[in-house]
Structure 1
Amino acid sequence: MWQQTKSVVSIIIILAGAIALIIGFGISGTHSITVTTLTSAGNIGEDGILSCTFEPDIKLSDVVIQWLKEGVIGLVHKFKEGRDDLSDQNEMFRGRTAVFAEQVRVGNASLRLKNVQLIDAGTYKCHIVTSKGTGNANLEYKTGAFSIPEMDVDYNASSDSFRCEAPRWFPQPTVVWTSQVDQKTNLSEVSNTSFELDSENVTMKVVSVLYNITINNTYSCMIENNIAKATGDIRVTDSQIKRRSHLELLDSKASLCVSSFFAISWVLLSLSSYLT
């Protein structure tokens, strides 16, 4: 008798869940789709990319892409029926946004943002509608300035020294010199770093000089803020000067919004399995 009661309860729960899902889909008229964004950073004055991908839909005419920004009235960008629809675009983004129209069909809803400004930082939402359903995901966008350092021998100094110079950084970074031969040595005591603001008092040029260098040793100059890290290496031998520089963005994270249908189904099935 108890087993029969449990079976009846399980069937009622499953049916109730199925009815709830049917009613829910009847109200919304659509399923959820997967949308993925990638936290990124924009370099002030240059073009940036706000990354967003979704489940592809070959019916391009059914795809609607909407980019919104938290705290901003109106849209950042809208793409509908195979073309841009900028009638509700906020003025601050006028003439500065574009999607990769030829890649929308394969699930690329990324936004190109021209001439990145400091005020462009914030939380954005990529909202997608297709024939398969709807979905959205948030994206945290940071803005600042970062550049690759140029490494050189400073011949104007009274003694041998290396110069590490990068034209554009913001916020103000830290600069650390290291030596490949003796990595434990603190080189801050034999280096001098200066920051020079540009004409608009936004970005700054970084110049750092390292003194008391030795030949056949590789020195590294690392410039870092909360957005990016750049490293320049330099090595002087009896016959040549070797240089190498690279830049990396920090805190690039993916944000994923998955279908709520599967989550609800999983809970219902798990509960029914427990009762039975």
Structure 2
Amino acid sequence: MCLLQGSAVTSAPDSATNVHLGMSHFLGCLSQVPYCVINIIIILAGAIALIIGFGISGKHFITVRTFTSAGNIGEDGILSCTFEPDIKLNGIVIQWLKEGTLGLVHEFKEGKDDFSQQHEMFRGRTAVFADQVVVGNASLRLKNVQLIDAGTYTCYIRTSKGKGNANLEYKTGAFSVPEINVDYNASSESLRCEAPRWFPQPTVAWASQVDQGANFSEVSNTSFELNSENVTMKVVSVLYNVTINNTYSCMIENNIAKATGAIKVTDSEVKRRSQLQLLNSGPSPRVSSVLLVVWALLSLSTARC
């Protein structure tokens, strides 16, 4: 409709009238455009200007990547973070922050650790790999992992090339590899599966290579014994009526880890194997800070359309 009306303006008697009518027509057309569309145009224009501005200034958002991981209570843990390498060590700043915690988890700047703003709960428990910072390793070593250490962490990096950050979900619990032994004290042939430390309380399931898909819940007994620190628990599961020349597996799993112990008993020997797998571990998604802000503003604008 606006284009058809605009073609009629060219037939005006003089140029001044043409300009006046053209401007009036443009404003009239603009008034027909939804307000939210105008907002979107302004937001996109601002984002483009911001990106161009960073390009002209020589600064940009560097790539920072974190890896979701889990900490084993009472042991040392690693919060993994990498960034674009920079040979200018004195210009690199690494800050680790924890959501809901005042102060810093850890800070590294001017080639050394700075504990001046560190929260007291992390005092004496953190360190970065200082000799690997220039190659882009900002991972944090956390000593004596506690249950309260679980949460959302941010790895913030600033270098001569720019700055960036990424979040990391850190879970804490207890997990250990089970060991299976033949229980010679039982009245019948049985297997005993033990794992010293688990938290939260896991599930336990038995499997057999010969009887695949069988349910062993009625011929097994599982117990959980609280350890001395009153947090973790010892897992003990006994499987009865086992047969020789068969491979049995004991699987222990919670929301953090999955561990499996297996045993094969023959007339001449006993073979064992075990494995431990952390669940939901891997690279965390990375979204540019500029794009994140633009996305949020666009969401608000389109919601009003």
Report the TM range for the smaller structure's normalisation: 0.7 to 0.9
Higher relative contact order (CA 8 A, sep 6+): 1
Report the alpha carbon displacement of residue 167 of structure 1 after superposing the two structures with TM: 0.2
Q: Which residue of 2 aligns with 1:89?
A: 118
Q: Which residue of 2 aligns with 1:199?
A: 228
Q: Which residue of 2 aligns with 1:218?
A: 247
Report the alpha carbon displacement of residue 23 of structure 1 after superposing the two structures with TM: 4.4
Report the alpha carbon displacement of residue 178 of structure 1 after superposing the two structures with TM: 0.4
CA distance in 2, matches of 1:86, 1:29: 31
Return closer, same or farther for 1:256/1:129 CA change in 2, 3 Å cut-off.
farther
Letter matched to residue 171 of structure 1: P
Q: Tell me, what secondary structure is at the counterpart of 1:251?
A: coil
Q: Which residue of 2 aligns with 1:123?
A: 152
Q: Tell me, what secondary structure is at the counterpart of 1:119?
A: helix
Q: Is the counterpart of residue 182 in structure 1 residue 202 in structure 2?
A: no
Q: What does the per-residue CA deviation read over 1:59-102, in whole Å, with 9 as the maximum and x for residues that have no partner?
A: 11110000000000000000001100010000000000000001
CA distance in 1, matches of 2:45, 2:167: 34
Structure 1 vs Structure 2: percent identity of aligned residues? 76
Larger fraction in helix: 2
Aligned with residue 56 of structure 1, among 73, 81, 85 = 85
Q: Is the counterpart of residue 232 in structure 1 residue 261 in structure 2?
A: yes
Q: Tell me, what secondary structure is at the counterpart of 2:132?
A: helix
Letter matched to residue 83 of structure 1: K
CA RMSD of aligned residues (A): 2.6
Report the alpha carbon displacement of residue 175 of structure 1 after superposing the two structures with TM: 0.2
Aligned pairs, number: 255
CA distance in 1, matches of 2:286, 2:259: 32
CA contact (8 A) 1:50 1:110 kept: yes
Q: Tell me, what secondary structure is at the counterpart of 2:284?
A: strand
Q: Is the counterpart of residue 110 in structure 1 residue 142 in structure 2?
A: no
Q: Tell me, what secondary structure is at the counterpart of 2:236?
A: strand
| TM-score of the two chains, using structure 2 as the length reference | 0.78
| TM-score of the two chains, using structure 1 as the length reference | 0.86
Return closer, same or farther for 1:47/1:72 CA change in 2, 3 Å cut-off.
same
Q: Tell me, what secondary structure is at the counterpart of 2:133?
A: helix
Which shifted more, 250-259 or 53-62?
A: 250-259
CA distance in 2, matches of 1:73, 1:147: 33
Q: What does the per-residue CA deviation read over 1:206-254, in whole Å, with 9 as the maximum and x for residues that have no partner?
A: 0000000001100000000000000000010010000001100000131
Q: Which residue of 1 aligns with 2:15?
A: none
CA distance in 2, matches of 1:20, 1:162: 66
Return closer, same or farther for 1:23/1:168 CA change in 2, 3 Å cut-off.
same
Aligned with residue 62 of structure 2, among 33, 46, 49 = 33
CA contact (8 A) 2:206 2:250 kept: yes
Q: Which residue of 2 aligns with 1:5?
A: none
Q: Is the counterpart of residue 71 in structure 1 residue 75 in structure 2?
A: no
Q: Which residue of 2 aligns with 1:254?
A: 283
Report the alpha carbon displacement of residue 31 of structure 1 after superposing the two structures with TM: 1.2
Q: What does the per-residue CA deviation read over 1:139-170, in whole Å, with 9 as the maximum and x for residues that have no partner?
A: 00000000000111011111110010000000
Q: Which residue of 2 aligns with 1:173?
A: 202
- In the TM superposition, structure 1's runs of 4+ consecutive aligned residues that sit over 6 Å from their partners are 13-18, 261-264
CA contact (8 A) 1:31 1:261 kept: no
Report the alpha carbon displacement of residue 259 of structure 1 after superposing the two structures with TM: 4.8
Q: What does the per-residue CA deviation read over 1:117-157, in whole Å, with 9 as the maximum and x for residues that have no partner?
A: 00000000000000000000000000000000011101111
CA contact (8 A) 2:54 2:60 kept: no
Q: Which residue of 2 aligns with 1:271?
A: none
Return closer, same or farther for 1:187/1:81 CA change in 2, 3 Å cut-off.
same
The structure having more radius of gyration, on CA atoms, is 2
